[in-house]
């Protein structure tokens, strides 16, 4: 009986097993290896000690609170931008959305420091306004609120990108029907647009939440001075005082983080369950709202956001690159471009780091796109427990701090692979695999939510045309979810470009990445060089985005997120 | 509520040809206008402009004294108190059937028992009482269309716009729904604009029929009038069934022609005098023992009767109905009881 | 295979050290990996756990860490002939590790500060209220050693840290963060490792470094060979090199205080005998590390 | 290519009532089956099972010897070589009209001039030659439907499934498209299954008509047969127009009844003997000077004629056509030329 399939199933028989194997390699293997090590190291007792440590529960509490608050803030900012820039007639949309994606390229530590300086006693902004607090007054950002705020700012572009794709699939006539029913713009927004874009919003919230639980940079800078420890910073301190129990402690902490992430995922599942978001009939015409005089309020507001999220930190970076040392005031006399000169023409490491990071980021984004489309396809057509387990397994690596994932991968790959007898450790490939594992969730989210909105008839028509699985994937499904796929690629690319901890632990001579290079420069006191390199990275990303802009005409509609 | 006035309305999507051009029409208060025309002629576009989804590129729309839209400004759809059945239904996939139908009420602040009562009634009228909790995705095509219908009629709109609202319903339901429209129209006094391809629907329901083609209004008149006295080849060809013949002009300028005149015209030599277009309705052609000779070109079974395509001696086509099956190629003689000079 | 060095020295310093060594030993090639101490240790431990440690030689922050590795049996004992020129307190008696330089922790202040601190106690003065910052022992190895050292000094102890906390001092990130906030004027005073402000001052930053009268703590960037090394011979050469006069001069040039007796001091430092280095017992410190960290976060958890 | 066999087919969506139940039917090779039935009766579901989008919960589908699907396995749609016009069109919004139409060819590896030629032809048949480069979103409803049609007919499928393919077209286009179907059917010899609500469409095109209701097959027969000899009230009511009367049983069990028999039946007292259902077609009722008395209950203008609803003395309804307008309430006498005992 060749060629027959189980009834009611549009996926080839191999697809789900294939997804399971991918997840086994990328998630289960490294996590299980850490769990094993953890169990061994705790074999002589000590679980009790870890679990009864009040610091642990304190950290869990702070992780939860900051992650939830941070998610809410990033949802607020990201949704506002997504809705305004996708659905309304606000002007300079292109520029705004172009700029809104960029903050992801500024390392969180830089943003955090820039904000600390902006809001602290030496803030040029506050000084100019004569409201600078006196020297020595407590820094308001060193608090749960500060951490959450920065989480929000850092992750808002994630929400924006995840949501935008869904908004583009909103059927115009559904909105029109609601308006004709007498619903004003706000009402239509609440009753029709919001519920219909729920898959996108929830996807964005989930990415943001999971990012928050795994973030190290922001709580390290803003939390530690106020003794606010989150689970990632706590894990870091465990590593800094290494004992025989450390792996056990880290495993326990990781399980906690994983549980928080899985709980988030469960909430997400619940919120989406039993609903139907398939856009019936023809999509292709997108909804549009006229803002009227609200424009005059909202437009400047968006620019203010951009200022705080992008311009201010970027100028902090730029200023740092132009002065020879910290604390030297930036004047025409002190200003020098020698840092740029040094980075561009003297440091050999710069070029390798650029090449490594770009190829790693591009490789990760593209590999993940492929895997993601297949996985999302398999998962949205499968509603059973196994499917849910697989999706949580995909989620966990991204929710863990980079240092944990890096350790997992060292544990798995430091020894030569069995049978093949090759050692991946120390090559660029292990970083690639670790990236694939870590960013799988980021890449998956927008694509899954796009699949939720797809009218199945469109695929059915292709099947009846005789298109086999890969054929219709390439011709119909991928172009239909193009905005989501584009968002996914860009998200992963930007995050991977900037990645630090994983590559820091997995790198070796010749495979250092931009994140590592910047960190090392900064760590060794050459903050001017570090800033210069950061500025160059941002400029490079801008340049590449402009290149995409040029290519945009040949790409399916909606792929490039700053074009309408 | 007042007269709906379309004033030199035009819409150009920038595709090189205007979708609607110079469209002027008045629908009296409480009127029921049927809009007919070939596919792609701009009917939906006219409705969308009335509803306020498209801004006219030229001209204006008034409801009584009130300006609804012109090229520079436009009242938003939610302030027009209209209702519409969309050609694509435009149901909200995240709401149940009952919620879809009840939404216009909810927006108007109706709730509680009054709300439930109205929704129940509306669903009962479209025979979907027991599908209230389903999702639109789980409905058949006709059921979706009925949900859209129920949603359109549930509130008390001033103007109701119907874009082929019965296209996917079977004959029985269609008749029932026509009855519902008639009742709704009488009860509410709303002005209705109805796009359809089914002429018997249009004729049965409308107080006025407007025929358009390629974005332009060709003729607007009450149904019996437009059927009996169509203006021009296009309207003649579009309304009703029949054949347009090119015959030599009869004496005088009388337009309704009877068999005596027609017989003369048929018998005239082809070269004689100027030609005029004459519309001969299919039901007026009788296959009888007498009259002019013709050959059966093709027949089509329609259940009730056969539609017969006849070829006249000079190669022109004539159409007739016949209760009996004729043989293709058979020679017959036909008379035309009546005809209309276009 | 090449000799693999794991180090926590800054990039340029590591490169200079390796270059110097390779110039002296052209037949050995060195691959080096640098990162902060916690990360490099996490990496090393994970490799050990996986059964395939890659590193041969470690050149990292403090003796406490190497003491821990020694006790876990991960280090190779090697009696270097160069040890003779070193103070006995600067290397392990069994030859498991040797200190290579002294990185002291003192006080940095912004030149616009209201007074010039000379003693640790000055930081608890009212004029310094809310203006003091220090690296957190939880992120910086040197800061941990520093705390453990100061706690052992008569008249300071944990009470000193409590007074600081009461005076609004913060414990933030690493040494880099302290430098940034003092240099930018956000804080006026900080505890910091010596070379950072001295280098920045040379570049024009408005900071000044002082060696307090009570003395300074020091980390000594010890070198050690891993027991699992497959290049033990080359590793021994490396140890000999960094301890040798030539190797020590390299550190001197980079701006560090060499550990070897009889060496000069780098530019910008006061005379060697005006710097009082407070002693620390590595084995003892190791035992109390956990407790010390808890005590510390107990104090700074309440502000 | 071979016979399409539906064998005790059933589909239950778990909504409490089966969408299709115990549906058995054979469509001969090259046959043209019209599937009629009220909205929501399961027509689309049958098509979707034939195409392979839904798995039957019971029964099986064969194409000749080849099993297409049963409850446990199913040949995927892409290996069935069928084509379908979806009720919702299912056009791909990211492709131009030409790409939409050409996709089945592309999948089959046809390219170059042959490809362009075929696409051009298909677009020309549906009169969309000059819309080739548009996006589906920029088309009118009828134009979208025509794109779906062109896509369906462009390749050479073994089985063609048409789900109300002409619902949104005007009468002229509809006729043209019917012509196209007929031609395509003759040329390709494909088996066609055609869902429609328009009976004259069904009668004109089909070699067989199947009538279903609530998921079950009621009757399948050639058009003339099903029109002349419907089985049971449901089919009688669904096919054609007319009225079903309940009259006292005539002598014998002859089913076609003529006026002489009918007149007797009408005149019988209501209490006499057992009742039978009699279908009287609307076109068979003549309003004449003679016959049984009736009162005009309502009239509906249809252009060509008026549809008249008559009330008999005992309150039963009879329907008739009339060329002239009658007054509501007027008393008339009618005869019924023929009727059919159900
Ligand atoms: N996915 C589904 N889930 C549940 N019920 C369904 C689903 N699809 C269809 N149905 C139900 O099955 C019945 C048959 O539906 P189907 O679409 O086959 O009707 P249809 O005969 O094509 O009607 P129409 O002429 O209105 O298109 C309907 O009552 C419908 O509500
Ligand atoms: N958004 C659009 N952009 C460009 N052209 C459009 C757009 N919408 C409609 N058109 C074109 O305008 C013309 C009129 O379209 P409209 O939808 O009004 O036709 P219609 O009379 O409703 O036809 P149908 O009976 O097929 O629904 C068509 O030729 C169509 O292709
Ligand atoms: Mg239309
Ligand atoms: Mg259907």
Whether residue D305 lies inside any domain: the answer is yes
Tokens of residue B73, six digits: 């400004």
DSSP label of C303? -
Nearest Cα to A85, choosing from A156, A187, A154, A153?
A: A156
- Do D90 and D200 share a domain, yes or no? yes
Domain boundary among D208, D229, D250: D229
pLDDT at position A221 is: 75
For residues C300 and C290, give the distance between their C-alpha atoms in angstroms, rounded to a whole number.
Answer: 16
Q: Domain holding D214: CATH number?
A: 3.40.50.300
- In this structure, the answer to whether residues D200 and D330 fall within a common structural domain is no
Whether residue B87 is found in the same domain as residue B179: yes
Task: Please report which residue ranges of A134-193 form alpha helices under DSSP H.
Answer: 144-168, 172-180, 185-188
* Structural tokens at position A420: 């093949």
Spatial neighbors of A377 by CB under 8 A, at least 6 apart, are A11, A15, A451, A473, A477
Residues D206 and D179 in one domain: yes
D219 and D245 inside one domain: no
- pLDDT-derived band at D208 (thresholds 50, 70, 90) equals very high
**Confidence at residue A51, expressed as pLDDT on a 0 to 100 scale:** 80
Contact A37, A240 (CB under 8 A): no
pLDDT at A280 over 80: no
**Portion 300-329 of B in contact with D at CB < 8 A:** 300-305, 307, 323
CATH number at residue D314: 2.40.50.140
Compute, in angstroms, the gap from residue D196 CA to the centroid of ligand 1. Answer: 15
Low-confidence winner among A118-132, A166-180, A314-328, C195-209 (lowest mean pLDDT): A118-132
Query: Residue B288's pLDDT is what?
Result: 80
Tell me the chain D residues in contact with residue B227 when contact means C-beta distances shorter than 8 Å. 303-304
Examine the domain organization and report whether D205 and D260 are in the same domain: no
Looking at residue A455, its pLDDT comes to 81
- Of A503-512, B14-23, D153-162, which gets the smallest average pLDDT? A503-512
Q: Is D112 left (phi over 0), alpha (psi -120 to 50) or beta?
A: left
Q: With respect to residue D234, please indicate whether it lies within any of the assigned structural domains.
A: no
| Residue carrying the six token digits 């920065």 | A150
**DSSP structure string for A240-285:** HS--TTHHHHHHHHHHHHHHHHHHHHHHHHHHHTT------S---S
Chain A residues with CB-CB distance to C183 below 8 A: 325-327
Class of domain A12-44+340-564: mainly alpha
Q: How far from each other are the two terminal CA atoms of chain A, in whole angstroms?
A: 49
Per-residue confidence (pLDDT) for residue B116, from 0 to 100: 93
Residue in chain B lying closest to D86 (CA): B141
Confidence band of A509 (pLDDT split at 50, 70, 90) = low
Lowest-confidence pick of A17-26, A284-293, C241-250: A284-293
The domain tally of chain D equals: 2
Chain B: which residues have CB within 8 Å of chain A?
51-53, 76-78, 80-84, 86, 88-95, 103-104, 107-108, 135-137, 144, 151, 155
What is the per-residue pLDDT across C230-262, written as a single tens digit (0 to 9) for each? 888 999 999 999 999 888 988 888 888 888 888
The helix, strand and coil proportions of chain D, stated in percent and rounded to the nearest 5, come to 30, 35, 35
* A180/B80 touch (CB, cutoff 8 Å), yes or no: yes
> Does the structure show a pLDDT above 70 at A368?
yes
| Mean pLDDT value across residues A364-386 | 88
D259 contacts D336 by C-beta, under 8 angstroms: yes
Q: Using the 3D structure, point to which of D174, D206, D229 is the last residue of a domain.
A: D229
Q: Which residues line ligand 1 (CB under 6 A)?
A: B 138-143, 168; D 13, 15, 19, 37, 39-45, 87
Q: Is the pLDDT of residue A7 over 60?
A: no
Contact D143 B223 (CB under 8 A): no
Cα separation, D14 vs C298, in Å, equals 62
Residue A275: per-residue pLDDT: 65
> Could you tell me if A388 and A267 are in contact, meaning their C-beta atoms sit under 8 angstroms apart?
no
Cα gap C56→C74, rounded to integer Å: 11
Q: Judge: A279–B93 Cβ closer than 8 Å, yes or no.
A: yes
With respect to CATH, is domain A55-327 assigned 3.30.565.10?
no
Per the structure block, which two tokens stand in for C61? 């922050």
* DSSP per-residue letters across D303-332: SSSEEEEEEETTS-EEEEEESSPPPTT-EE
| pLDDT level of residue A281 (50, 70, 90 thresholds) | low
Q: Give the ipTM.
A: 0.80
Return d(Cα A305, Cα A160) in angstroms, integer.
14
Picking from C50, C136, C204, the nearest residue to A324 by CB comes out as C204
Query: Do the chains B and A touch each other, judged by at least 3 C-beta pairs below 8 angstroms?
Result: yes
pLDDT at C15: 83
The yes-or-no answer to whether A12-44+340-564 and A55-327 have a common fold is yes
Nearest one of A160, A38, A141, A25 to A97, comparing CA atoms: A160
10-residue mean pLDDT profile of chain C (303 residues): values are 84 84 89 81 84 87 83 88 86 89 90 88 87 81 84 85 87 79 84 87 86 88 90 90 90 86 82 80 80 80 45
Shared-domain flag, residues D328 and D222: no
pLDDT of residue A1: 45
A465 with D75: Cβ contact below 8 A = no
What pLDDT, on the 0 to 100 scale, is given for residue C262?
82
Residue among C230, C250, C237 at smallest CA distance from C82: C237
Nearest listed ligand to the Cα of residue D212 = 1
pLDDT in tens, B299-309: 888 888 888 99
**CA B159 to centroid of ligand 2, rounded, Å:** 22
3-state helix, strand and coil shares in percent for chain B, rounded to the nearest 5: 30, 35, 35
In eight-state DSSP terms, residue B16 is: S
Residue A345: the pLDDT is: 77
Residue A285 pLDDT greater than 60, yes or no: no
Q: Is C171 helix (H, G, I), strand (E, B) or coil?
A: strand
Closest CA to C145 of A522, A55, A240: A240
- B144 pLDDT higher than 50: yes
Domain shared by D219 and D247, yes or no: no
Opening angle at CA A163, ends B98 and A102, nearest 5: 165
User: Does ligand 2 have an atom closer than 6 angstroms to the CB of B212?
Assistant: no
More confident residue, C10 or D233: D233
In a domain, B234, yes or no: no
D40/B138 CB distance under 8 A:
no
Mean pLDDT over residues A513-526, rounded?
76
For residue D79, the enclosing domain spans 4-229
Mean pLDDT of D188-216: 89
- Interface touch A283/D71, C-beta < 8 Å: no
Residue D253 and residue D116 share a domain: no
* Residue D25 and residue D50 in one domain: yes
CB contact under 8 A, B168 and D163: no
Q: What pLDDT digit, counting tens, does each position of B48-71 carry?
A: 999 988 889 999 999 988 999 988
> Is there a domain that residue D236 lies in?
no
Do D282 and D144 have their domain in common? no
Token readout for D165 is 């393919």
Residue indicated by tokens 């407590």: A138
Is residue B124, in this structure, part of any structural domain at all?
Answer: yes
Of all protein residues, the one whose alpha carbon is nearest to atom 23 of ligand 2 is: B40
Looking at residue A2, its pLDDT comes to: 56
> Can you tell me the mean pLDDT for A199-220?
85
Question: Is A231 within 8 Å of A258 (Cβ atoms)?
Answer: no
Residue D99 is assigned to a structural domain of this protein: yes
Give the mutation candidate from A326, A333, A409, A427 for the C interface (greatest C CB count, under 10 A).
A326
Cβ-based neighbours of D201, under 8 Å, separated by 6 or more: D34, D166, D174, D178
| Residue D188 burial (C-beta neighbours within 10 Å; 0-12, 13-18, 19+) | middle
Reply yes or no on whether the pLDDT at A282 is more than 60.
Answer: no
Whether B92 maps to a domain, the answer reads yes
Probe residue for ligand 1, chosen from B143, B146, B166 as the CB with the greatest number of ligand atoms within 8 Å: B143
HSE of B321, CA atoms in CB hemisphere, 13 A? 13
In terms of DSSP bridges, do strands C217-219 and C101-110 run parallel, antiparallel, or are they unpaired?
A: antiparallel
Cross-chain Cβ contact A282/D93 below 8 Å: yes
Average pLDDT over chain B reads 87
Q: What is the dihedral of CA A399, A401, A403, A404, to 10 degrees?
A: -50
Dihedral, CA atoms, D149, D151, D154, D158, nearest 10 degrees? -80
- Contact of D234 with D217, CB cutoff 8 Å: no
pLDDT of residue A245: 77
Confidence band for A372, pLDDT divided at 50, 70 and 90: very high
Q: Neighbouring chains of A at 3+ CB pairs within 8 Å?
A: B, C, D
Residues D210 and D260 in one domain: no
* B40 Cβ inside 6 Å of ligand 2: yes
Is residue B235 in some structural domain? no
The verdict on a CB contact (< 8 Å) between B155 and A181 is: yes
- Range scoring the smallest mean pLDDT among A138-152, A511-525, D36-50, D137-151: A511-525
Taking CA atoms only, the protein residue closest to ligand 1 atom 18 is D42
The dihedral through the CA atoms of C92, C95, C97, C103 has a sign that is positive
* Cβ atoms < 10 Å from Cβ of B107: 19
Element (H, E) at D112: helix D112-125
Residue B168 alpha carbon to ligand 4 centre in Å: 8
Give the distance (Å) from ligand 3 centre to CA of residue B221.
Answer: 21
**pLDDT at residue B221, as a whole number:** 92
Average pLDDT, chain A: 81
Domain boundary among D206, D229, D252: D229
pLDDT at D270: 54
Q: Answer for the pair B26, B186: CB distance below 8 angstroms, yes or no.
A: no
Instruction: Give the ligand 2 atom nearest the CA of D131.
Output: 31
Q: What is the pLDDT of residue B216?
A: 92
* Residue C303, pLDDT score: 36
For chain C, state the CA radius of gyration: 19
Mean pLDDT across A380-391:
83
Is D74:D68 a contact under the CB 8 Å cutoff?
Answer: yes
Residues with CB under 5 A from ligand 4 (ion): B 140-141; D 44, 87
């Amino acid at each position: 009986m060749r060629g027959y399939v189980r009834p009611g199933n549009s996926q080839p028989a191999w697809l789900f097993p294939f997804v399971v194997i991918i997840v086994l390699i990328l998630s289960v293997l490294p996590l299980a290896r850490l769990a094993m090590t953890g169990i061994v190291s705790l074999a002589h007792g000590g679980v009790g000690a870890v679990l009864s440590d009040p610091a642990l529960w304190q950290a869990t509490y702070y992780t939860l609170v900051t992650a939830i608050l941070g998610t809410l803030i990033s949802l607020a900012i990201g949704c506002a931008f997504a809705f305004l820039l996708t659905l309304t007639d606000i002007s300079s949309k292109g520029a705004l959305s172009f700029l809104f994606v960029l903050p992801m390229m500024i390392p969180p530590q830089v943003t955090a420091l820039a904000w600390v300086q902006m809001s602290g006693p030496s803030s040029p902004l506050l000084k100019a306004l004569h409201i600078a607090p006196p020297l020595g007054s407590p820094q308001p950002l060193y608090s749960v609120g500060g951490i959450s705020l920065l989480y929000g700012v850092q992750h808002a572009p994630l929400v924006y990108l995840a949501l935008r794709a869904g908004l583009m699939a909103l059927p115009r006539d559904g909105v029109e029907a609601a308006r004709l029913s007498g619903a004003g713009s706000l009402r239509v927004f609440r009753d029709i647009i919001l519920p219909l874009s729920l898959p996108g919003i929830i996807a964005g919230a989930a990415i943001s939440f999971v990012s928050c639980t795994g973030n190290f940079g922001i709580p390290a800078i803003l939390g530690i001075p106020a003794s606010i420890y989150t689970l990632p910073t706590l894990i870091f301190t465990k590593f800094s005082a290494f004992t025989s129990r450390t792996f056990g402690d880290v495993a326990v902490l990781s399980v906690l983080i994983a549980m928080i992430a899985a709980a988030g995922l469960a909430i997400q599942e619940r919120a989406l369950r039993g609903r139907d978001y398939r856009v019936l009939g023809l999509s292709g015409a997108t909804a549009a709202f006229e803002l009227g005089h609200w424009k005059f309020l909202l437009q400047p507001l968006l620019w203010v956001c951009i200022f705080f999220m992008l311009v201010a930190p970027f100028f902090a970076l730029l200023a740092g690159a132009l002065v020879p040392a910290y604390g030297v005031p930036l004047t025409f006399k002190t200003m020098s471009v020698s840092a740029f000169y040094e980075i561009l023409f003297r440091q050999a490491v710069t070029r390798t780091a650029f090449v490594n990071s770009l190829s790693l980021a591009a490789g990760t984004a593209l590999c993940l796109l492929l895997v993601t489309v297949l996985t999302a396809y398999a998962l949205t057509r499968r509603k059973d427990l196994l499917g849910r387990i697989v999706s949580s397994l995909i989620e966990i690596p991204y929710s863990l701090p980079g240092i944990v994932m890096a350790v997992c991968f060292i544990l798995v790959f430091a020894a030569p692979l069995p049978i093949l007898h090759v050692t991946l450790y120390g090559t660029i490939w292990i970083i690639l695999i670790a990236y694939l594992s870590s960013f799988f969730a980021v890449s998956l989210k927008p694509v899954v939510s796009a699949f939720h909105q797809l009218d199945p008839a469109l695929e059915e028509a292709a099947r009846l045309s005789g298109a086999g699985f890969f054929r219709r994937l390439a011709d119909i499904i991928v172009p239909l979810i193009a905005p989501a796929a584009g968002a996914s690629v860009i998200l992963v690319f930007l995050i991977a470009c900037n990645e630090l901890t994983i590559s820091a632990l997995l790198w070796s001579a010749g495979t250092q990445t931009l994140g590592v290079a910047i960190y090392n420069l900064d760590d060794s006191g050459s903050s001017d060089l570090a800033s210069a390199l950061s500025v160059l990275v941002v400029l490079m990303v801008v340049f590449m985005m402009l290149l995409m802009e040029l290519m945009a005409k040949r790409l399916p509609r909606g792929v490039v997120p700053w074009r309408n | 509520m007042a007269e709906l006035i379309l004033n030199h309305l035009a819409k150009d999507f920038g595709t090189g040809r205007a979708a609607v051009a110079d469209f002027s029409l008045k629908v009296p208060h409480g009127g029921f206008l049927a809009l007919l025309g070939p596919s792609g002629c701009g009917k939906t576009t006219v409705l969308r402009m009335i509803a306020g989804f498209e801004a006219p590129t030229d001209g204006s729309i008034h409801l009584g004294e009130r300006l609804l839209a012109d090229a520079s400004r436009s009242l938003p759809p939610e302030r027009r108190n209209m209702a519409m059945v969309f050609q694509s239904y435009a149901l909200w996939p995240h709401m149940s059937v009952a919620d879809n139908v009840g939404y216009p009420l909810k927006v108007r602040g109706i709730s509680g028992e009054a709300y439930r009562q109205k929704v129940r009634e509306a669903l009962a009228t479209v025979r979907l009482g027991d599908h209230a909790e389903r999702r639109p995705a789980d409905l058949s095509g006709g059921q979706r269309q009925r949900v859209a219908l129920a949603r359109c009629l549930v509130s008390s709109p001033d103007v109701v716009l119907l874009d082929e609202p019965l296209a996917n319903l079977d004959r029985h339901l269609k008749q029932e729904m026509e009855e519902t429209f008639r009742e709704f129209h009488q009860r509410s006094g709303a002005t209705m604009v109805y796009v359809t391809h089914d002429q018997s629907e249009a004729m049965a329901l409308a107080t006025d029929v407007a025929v358009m083609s390629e974005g332009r209004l060709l003729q607007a008149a009450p149904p019996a009038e437009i059927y009996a006295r169509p203006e021009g080849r296009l309207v003649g060809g579009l309304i009703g069934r029949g054949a347009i013949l090119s015959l030599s002009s009869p004496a005088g300028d009388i337009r309704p022609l009877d068999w005596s005149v027609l017989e003369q015209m048929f018998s005239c030599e082809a070269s004689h005098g100027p030609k005029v277009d004459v519309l001969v309705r299919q039901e007026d052609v009788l296959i009888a023992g007498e009259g002019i000779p013709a050959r059966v070109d093709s027949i089509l079974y329609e259940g009730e009767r056969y539609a017969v395509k006849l070829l006249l001696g000079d190669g022109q086509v004539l159409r007739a109905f016949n209760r009996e099956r004729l043989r293709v190629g058979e020679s017959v003689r036909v008379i035309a009881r009546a005809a209309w000079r276009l | 295979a090449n000799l693999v060095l794991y180090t926590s020295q800054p990039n340029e310093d590591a490169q200079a050290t390796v270059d110097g060594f390779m110039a002296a030993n052209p037949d050995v090639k060195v691959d080096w990996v640098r990162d902060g101490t916690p990360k490099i240790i996490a990496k090393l431990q994970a490799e050990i756990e996986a059964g395939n440690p890659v590193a041969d030689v470690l050149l990292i922050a403090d003796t406490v860490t190497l003491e821990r590795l020694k006790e876990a049996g991960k280090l190779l004992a090697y009696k270097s002939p160069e040890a003779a020129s070193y103070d006995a307190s600067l290397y392990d008696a069994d030859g498991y590790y040797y200190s290579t330089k002294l990185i002291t922790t003192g006080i940095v202040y912004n030149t616009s500060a209201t007074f010039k601190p000379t003693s640790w106690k000055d930081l608890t003065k009212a004029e310094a209220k809310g203006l003091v910052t220090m690296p957190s022992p939880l992120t910086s190895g040197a800061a941990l050693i520093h705390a453990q050292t100061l706690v052992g000094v008569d008249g300071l102890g944990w009470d000193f840290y409590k007074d600081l906390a009461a005076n609004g001092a913060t414990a933030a990130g690493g040494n880099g963060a302290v430098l940034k906030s003092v240099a930018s004027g956000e804080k006026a005073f900080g505890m910091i490792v010596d070379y950072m402000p001295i280098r920045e001052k040379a570049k024009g930053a408005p900071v000044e470094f002082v060696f307090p009268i009570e003395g300074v703590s020091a980390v000594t960037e010890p070198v050690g060979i891993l027991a699992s090394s497959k290049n033990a011979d080359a590793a021994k050469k490396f140890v000999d090199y960094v301890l040798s006069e030539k190797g020590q001069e390299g550190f001197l040039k980079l701006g560090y205080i060499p550990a070897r007796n009889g060496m000069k001091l780098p530019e910008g430092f006061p005379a060697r005998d005006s710097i009082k280095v407070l002693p620390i017992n590595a084995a003892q410190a190791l035992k109390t590390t956990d407790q010390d960290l808890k005590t510390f976060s107990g104090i700074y958890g309440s502000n």
